[in-house]
Structure 1
Amino acid sequence: MKAQPDTTDYYGPISVTRISHAALYIGYENELIAVDPYGEGADYTMLPKATTVLITHDHYDHYDPEALRAIATDQTVFIAPPKATERLRVDGFTQRIITLANGDTTDYNRSIRIRALPAYNVVRERRPGVPFHPKGEGNGYLLTINEKRIYIAGDTELIPEMRELNFIFIAFLPLMLPYTMSEEEFIEAAKIIEPEYLYPYHYETVDRKRIQEQLAVVQVR
């Protein structure tokens, strides 16, 4: 049996529900944003419909057409980088699709602003000269909701662009070798970004207690 969401955390009018792997829901007022739905970790036919879907990149564990179909309605808005939006169209999704490359911003909803940020490998490669996540292909996302800034890093290593982030309320950072960050890099990234609340995601195992001990001013969820 597939796992169902384990917790929902509430930050005033903003809610965060962890699903599995890199998948999560962010709720605000009448909006329910699904990030990287992935059916291997949860039965999406049992989960709420999404008003918006954010896709960070087109790898199978982030772009899952069957999970998308299970939670999409005719009114669902898809936001994704160029390669993923091409796949959405090929796979027959006819809903509104917003393509965001690194640095692009959309105010598609008057209450929510979304900016696409770089997410890529600096060192780790699939084979020589071919990173697991090439720069420019995938997105991280910076959401501004109710004047709170939420950073969803996507599949990335510790990259220089993280030093430009500030006033982050909630951050989701990946912790999984060889594709993203080691625990040491994860902790360094958290110290650089210094969010109020930190969610490790895209991991196989995680020692939250050990991470929390090294991040005194950050609350690890």
Structure 2
Amino acid sequence: MLTKKDFPEVPSSYAAYWLGHSTAIIELDGHRVLIDPVFGNAGPLPMIAKRMSVSPLRREELPDIDVVIITHDHYDHLEAETIKFLADKDIQFIAPLAVGTRLQGWGVPKNKITELGWYQSVTHGSLSITACPTVHYSGRSYNDRNKTLWASYVIKGKEKNLYWSGDTGYGEHFKEIGRKYGPFDLAFMEIDAWNNGWPNTHLFPEQVIKASQDVNAKILFPIHFSTFDLALHPWDESINMVADLAAQNNIELITPVMGQKVIPGETKTTAWWMLK
């Protein structure tokens, strides 16, 4: 298990820690960014969408965070208990339109929240953070579907340009993002929970590869897998297929174990899911 002591007191210029599913810490230009922080289950009740693997970091052991980015308000991306824990910290919260109201309801002061529509940007020190489109939906109950926006993000520092896909089906938005903001040094792409019955919700493995090419990403970092059972396929089917397709298409893949610190382009990772 990670603890606060495992993180540098001053965030590094470039590193990433995947904490499972779509939760990650990115260190860029000496800033520490936390994305979609979920440390428990992915549903409103304990028996719904239980974790298959324990988070490598307890929320109480989080290091100092500068920015929290939320992609959308689904339970597996926005956890009330974690937002309440972070609410009184010196953090800038960035979220899609109308999600700020939820954050305020959990104690985050309004002046700490920046809501973004697609193609709107905000800065934090040397970082420029831009919300971009995805093909998805939002809502936390039966009566609030699509009352809030969902987004992917471009996170651009002094030297590195990163893309975070959020949850999305495949669409022309990837090419548009590539044209407007690419090329990218690294693309965090969701790879799991696909089903032929809902093609506009998540990426199929072959679409992960196409999307990475569309945005012109140098390195592909798979996320949104192996933590919650959200679809009918086996938990390791997506990562096996994406790894094979990436190799066939000469795409560099980075696949850290949960909690492992990686410097993309330098740190060597393994096919750890094949050893389970």
TM-score when scaled to structure 1? 0.82
After superposition, give the CA deviation of every residue in 1:64-84 in whole Å (9 maximum; x if it has no partner): 121233445531110001232
Query: Which shifted more, 133-142 or 93-102?
Result: 133-142
Are 1:210 and 2:244 counterparts?
yes
Q: Give the secondary-structure state (helix, strand or coil) at the position aligned to 1:20.
A: coil
Distance 1:160 1:136 in 2: 22
How does 1:1-221 map onto structure 2 within 5 Å? Answer: 13-40=13-40, 41-42=54-55, 43-71=58-86, 73-94=88-109, 96-107=112-123, 109-121=124-136, 137-164=149-176, 165=178, 166-176=182-192, 177-178=194-195, 179-204=201-226, 205=236, 206-207=239-240, 209-221=243-255
Q: Give the secondary-structure state (helix, strand or coil) at the position aligned to 2:26.
A: strand
- In structure 1, give the amino acid aligned to 2:247: E
- In structure 1, give the amino acid aligned to 2:104: R
Distance 1:215 1:13, change over 3 A: farther
Q: CA deviation at 1:56?
A: 0.3
What is the aligned residue count? 205
Distance 2:29 2:130 in 1: 20
Q: Give the secondary-structure state (helix, strand or coil) at the position aligned to 1:85.
A: helix
Distance 1:149 1:106, change over 3 A: same
Distance 1:82 1:191 in 2: 28
Is this contact kept in 1: 2:134–2:152, CA < 8 A?
A: yes
Please identify which structure carries the higher strand content. 1
Q: CA deviation at 1:4?
A: 5.2
Distance 2:147 2:170 in 1: 13
Is this contact kept in 1: 2:29–2:158, CA < 8 A?
A: no
Distance 1:119 1:67, change over 3 A: same
Q: Which runs of 5+ in 1 are unaligned?
A: 127-132
Structure index of larger Rg: 2
Q: What's the Cα RMSD here? A: 2.7
Q: Give the secondary-structure state (helix, strand or coil) at the position aligned to 2:173.
A: helix
Distance 1:135 1:163, change over 3 A: farther
Is this contact kept in 2: 1:191–1:215, CA < 8 A?
A: no
Q: Give the secondary-structure state (helix, strand or coil) at the position aligned to 2:83.
A: helix
Distance 1:39 1:111, change over 3 A: same
Q: Give the secondary-structure state (helix, strand or coil) at the position aligned to 2:222.
A: strand
